[in-house]
Amino acid sequence: MRKHWRQNVSVFAASRFAGGRISAIIWGVMTPASAPNDRGLAIFGEFFLDLVFYDLPRVPRLGEEVKTASFARFPGGGLATTAMVASRLGTPTQIITKVGRDILSTPEWRKLVQSGVSIQGCEIDPKLPTAMTVCAAFDGDRMMITCDKINQKLEKLLSRSSAQNQIRSAKHLHLACSMSPPDKWLPLIHKLRRTGLTLSADMGWNPELLESPRLPSLLSSFEFVFPNAAEAKAMTGEQSVEAAARKLARWVRIPVIKLGHAGSLAFREGKILRIKSITVRTVDATGSGDAFNGGFLYGYLAGWPLEECLRSGNVCGALATTRAGGSSAIPTLKRLRELMKKMH
């Protein structure tokens, strides 16, 4: 674990796209984790600012306002959570995403940068706001409103030379986004795979993509895919997670299925590998899957065996449920190792 890091925020490139109509600035932060040629983890996907109103007295009807004293803001989405977990554990981690100028002075962006994540590959859109979700939580359930115009056609960012240069310095690329429509993503993914990187993806719940006939071709470039049980069943049309894992293994090298409090499983060399999670007091399960991905990928890049990667993912996912937001309970590497030892 790094205890201190020096921040040196600097504009290192300014470019113009779309015939000069849209200008974009790419900002860089030099941290120990962002040293060149670190051969670590690159994560591509959507960044959200989550604004969460909870302990509501009741659900408002149209035309009404309800007030609450309970409010929290988080860097949201799979990209930020997975990156913060992997980086805090010690993986050199960079993110590639699009944000608006509005995010740069916020505590959430600062939190991301201070966790050691490099933002050199991020693009600032001068006109659009950062994608934002307002979440109203009531009685164990929640409703959400999202504005994410900035993430439309995000695949274009992946094909830009600035992003490609960033990715080239990494050993592994994780995609924390839906990759829909698959036809647009397929050539990009195949090209990236040919550079020798390993790839993984968490596509979340997106029936259009999960049930697409193009999914097997898309997944054939991936080392790992990280669906939860419902997503794995939707991808394969199977009724059990074991059958889903078996079928996914025809398309992706190692499917990893997240099973909530029951832990996780992977399928490798014809065998199911199932690892239990730890027992925790759950407060909010949002982002546990993304935290799992960060813990798993830390283990993978540290050269750990698959069983240990699953254990690491389980611990990070379980701890994420003990506090609100996926990135509020990230363990130190020492704590992670202690908890993993107890699982044997």
* Interface ranges with ligand ATP (CB under 6 A): 228, 258-261, 263-264, 277, 280, 282, 285-290, 292, 314, 317-318, 321
Residue 29: count other Cβ atoms within 10 Å of its Cβ: 22
Among 75, 90, 100, 289, binds Mg ion (CB under 5 A): 289
263 binds, among ligand ATP, Mg ion, none (CB under 5 to 8 A by kind): ligand ATP
255 binds, among ligand ATP, Mg ion, none (CB under 5 to 8 A by kind): none
The size of the chain, in residues, is: 344
Q: How far is the CB of 21 from Mg ion (least distance, A)?
A: 36
**Closer CB to ligand ATP, residue 246 or residue 261?**
261
Q: Which residue type does 301 have? A: L
Q: How far is the CB of 275 from Mg ion (least distance, A)?
A: 17
45 binds, among ligand ATP, Mg ion, none (CB under 5 to 8 A by kind): none
Q: How far is the CB of 22 from Mg ion (least distance, A)?
A: 32
Does the protein bind Mg ion through residue 182 (CB under 5 A)? Answer: no
Q: What's the angle, vertex CA 24, arms to CA 22 and CA 25, rounded to 5?
A: 160
293 binds, among Mg ion, ligand ATP, none (CB under 5 to 8 A by kind): none
Q: What is the DSSP string of 113-138?
A: HHTT-B-TT-EEESSSPPPEEEEEEE
**Closer CB to ligand ATP, residue 124 or residue 315?**
315
261 binds, among Mg ion, ligand ATP, none (CB under 5 to 8 A by kind): ligand ATP
**Closer CB to Mg ion, residue 225 or residue 275?**
225
Q: How far is the CB of 308 from Mg ion (least distance, A)?
A: 21
86 closest CA partner among 187, 196, 1, 163 = 1
Which tokens is 344 given? Answer: 């044997």
In a 3-state reduction of DSSP, which class is residue 33?
helix
For residue 181, whether the previous peptide bond is cis, meaning omega lies within 30 degrees of 0, is: yes
Q: How far is the CB of 147 from ligand ATP (least distance, A)?
A: 20
Q: How far is the CB of 282 from ligand ATP (least distance, A)?
A: 4
Q: How far is the CB of 59 from ligand ATP (least distance, A)?
A: 22
Q: Where are the alpha helices (H) located in the chain, listed in sequence order?
A: 77-89, 107-114, 155-159, 161-168, 182-194, 207-210, 215-219, 229-236, 241-248, 288-301, 306-320, 333-342
Beta bridge partners of 225: 201, 255
> What is the x/- site pattern for Mg ion, positions 13-32, by CB under 5 A?
--------------------
Task: Report the helix count and the strand count for the chain, using DSSP H and E.
Answer: 12, 16
Q: How far is the CB of 297 from ligand ATP (least distance, A)?
A: 13
Cα Rg, the chain, nearest whole Å? 19
Pick the piece of the chain touching Mg ion (CB under 5 A) from 15-23, 95-103, 107-115, 289-297.
289-297
94 binds, among ligand ATP, Mg ion, none (CB under 5 to 8 A by kind): none
**Closer CB to ligand ATP, residue 50 or residue 290?**
290
Q: Check if the beta carbon of residue 108 is closer than 8 Å to that of residue 75.
A: yes
**Closer CB to Mg ion, residue 254 or residue 256?**
256
Residue 116: count other Cβ atoms within 10 Å of its Cβ: 25
Q: How far is the CB of 321 from Mg ion (least distance, A)?
A: 13
**Closer CB to ligand ATP, residue 251 or residue 292?**
292
Q: Check if the beta carbon of residue 227 is closer than 8 Å to that of residue 257.
A: yes
Question: In whole angstroms, what is the distance from residue 228 CA to residue 226 CA?
Answer: 7
Residue 71: count other Cβ atoms within 10 Å of its Cβ: 10
Q: Check if the beta carbon of residue 89 is closer than 8 Å to that of residue 294.
A: yes
Residue nearest to Mg ion (CB): 289
- Residue count at the site for Mg ion (CB under 5 A)? 1
Contacts with Mg ion, residue ranges (CB under 5 A): 289
